[in-house]
Amino acid sequence: MTERTFSIIKPDATKRNLTGKVNAVIEDAGLRIVAQRRIQMSQAQAEKFYEVHKERPFFGELVEFMTSAPVVVQVLEGDNAVAKYREVMGATNPEQAAEGTIRKLFALSVGENSVHGSDSQDNAKIEIAQFFTDDQIVG
Ligand code: RTP
Ligand code: MG
């Protein structure tokens, strides 16, 4: 089933000029980038986006990292896009990520792990709406 997921190319990747290389892996996997914008996340935006993790010990570090440099926010479309993109991203910890995944190829550590992808269709809808209006998504 064609669906959409939300992606962020994180600061460690934008700082190393890897946006195009990450996008090539996304497109080679059959996902279509149907919206994309480079932004500097504010502290409030990052805190809201990662609200589910606010009690976790790494929350402060995570917000600091996500606001440390520009990020690229994206909407990806394709067959089973949510699950497919999680597969393409690889495990949260790059040491456990499978060969050929974005995190295996590019991530520096469990914190600086190059990309975010929604973990469910419900969260994908919520996350997309935080950064894009419907008319900004062109499928
Ligand atoms: P994401 O939400 O960014 O797509 O990553 P994920 O689902 O694979 O991982 P999640 O458990 O949702 O954690 C969100 C992000 O928090 C950072 N993190 N740091 N220092 C740590 O132990 C730690 N654990 C998680 C990572 O940047 C992770 O992607
Ligand atoms: Mg997550």
**Could you identify the atom of ligand 1 that is nearest to the CA of residue 50?**
14
- Our mutation pick for probing the ligand 1 site, out of 54, 104, 113, 123, counting the most ligand atoms within 8 A of Cβ, is 113
Question: Which residues fall within 8 angstroms of residue 79, CB to CB, at 6 or more apart?
Answer: 1, 2, 3, 30
Active site residue 116: yes
Contact 18, 115 (CB under 8 A): no
- Alpha carbons 55 and 138: distance in angstroms, whole number: 36
pLDDT in tens, the chain (139 residues): 899 999 999 999 999 999 999 999 999 999 999 999 999 999 999 999 999 999 999 999 999 999 999 999 999 999 999 999 999 999 999 999 999 999 999 999 999 999 999 999 999 999 999 999 999 999 9
- Alpha carbons 115 and 9: distance in angstroms, whole number: 5
pTM reported for the whole predicted model: 0.97
Question: Which residues fall within 8 angstroms of residue 35, CB to CB, at 6 or more apart?
Answer: 74, 75, 132, 136, 137, 138
> Is this prediction's ipTM beyond 0.85?
yes
User: Is the CB–ligand 1 distance for residue 117 below 6 Å?
Assistant: yes
User: Could you confirm whether domain 3-136 is CATH 3.30.70.141?
Assistant: yes
- Write the secondary structure of 87-116 as one string of H (helix), E (strand) and C (coil): HHHCCCCHHHCCCCCHHHHHCCCCCCCCEE
